Amino acid sequence: MDENKRILIVDDEKLIREIVSRIVQKRGADFIALSGGKEVKQTLENNVFHLAVVDLLMPDASGWDVVKMIRNDKNNSSIPIIILSGTKVSSDEKTKLLQEVNAVVNKTTFSLQIFEGVLDNCSTI
């Protein structure tokens, strides 16, 4: 991962933010980690990102809402997005998600090896 790459991490679970932050940091990327969707719009306005990792279910904004904000932002609309989900995603929902994002990772079966592979596949990082 290039040192000039910046990753947006949006998850209401502190542990998940810390894990993902460490992974991208080890790859040499900078990151901004947010605890919810409310801060996303302003953060997008002030930054250019190379990848986003977004929780699907958050109390203040859904992952769908965050994906829409990213896709509607002029500077970040085409970045790869990885969705993290703490619940089982139906095949229909996964199909819909994959029309807008690059990958869906289930937190309940999360492994470093799987996530690293997803990063490699999505990556400009």
pLDDT single digits (tens) 40-99: 999 999 999 999 999 999 988 899 999 999 999 999 999 999 999 988 888 898 888 889
DSSP 12-50: S-HHHHHHHHHHHHHTT-EEEEESSGGGHHHHHHT---S
User: Nearest-CA neighbor of 79 among 98, 106, 51?
Assistant: 51
pLDDT band at 37 (very low <50, low <70, confident <90, very high): confident
Q: Topology of domain 6-122, per CATH?
A: Rossmann fold (3.40.50)
Return the amino acid letter for 60.
Answer: D
- In angstroms, the CA 40 to CA 42 distance is 6
Residue 51's beta-bridge partner residues? 7
pLDDT band at 33 (very low <50, low <70, confident <90, very high): very high
With a CB cutoff of 8 Å and minimum separation 6, the contacts of 54 are 8, 10, 11, 63, 66, 67, 70, 81, 82, 83, 84, 101
pTM of the model: 0.91
14 within 8 A of 35, measured Cβ to Cβ: yes
23 or 124: whose pLDDT is higher?
23
- In angstroms, the CA 91 to CA 56 distance is 15
List the chain domain ranges: 6-122
